[in-house]
């Protein structure tokens, strides 16, 4: 594995681990960055911030449902 690949893998794990710990079974948990991409298509509930290694605080959301008004 190249050093660059290891860097991205580590960053992914550093974000995924605290996301998993703050998620309830059966729910979809997304970061603030993902929320910005999908907010017009899905109804989401703000959960607050979690601490992610090497990233600091990351905003978290639960996805509750698809917006039916979006085509």
What is the sign of the dihedral through the CA atoms of 34, 37, 42 and 43?
Answer: positive
32 in helix, strand or coil?
helix
pLDDT above 50 for 4? no
Q: For 16-59, what is each residue's pLDDT tens digit? A: 777 777 777 788 888 899 999 999 999 999 998 988 777 778 88
CA distance 39 to 67: 9
Q: Look at residue 1 in the predicted model and tell me its pLDDT.
A: 46
Q: Look at residue 31 in the predicted model and tell me its pLDDT.
A: 87
Q: Look at residue 50 in the predicted model and tell me its pLDDT.
A: 80
According to DSSP, residue 67 is labeled -
Question: Between these two residues, 64 and 26, which has the higher pLDDT value?
Answer: 64
What pairs with residue 63 in β-bridges? 28, 44
């Amino acid at each position: 594995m190249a050093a660059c690949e290891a860097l991205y893998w580590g960053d992914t794990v550093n974000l995924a681990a605290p996301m998993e710990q703050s998620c309830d079974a059966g729910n979809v948990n997304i970061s603030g960055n993902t929320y910005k991409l999908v907010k017009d298509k899905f109804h989401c509930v703000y959960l607050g911030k979690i601490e992610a290694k090497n990233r600091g605080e990351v905003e978290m959301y639960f996805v509750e449902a698809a917006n039916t008004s979006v085509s």
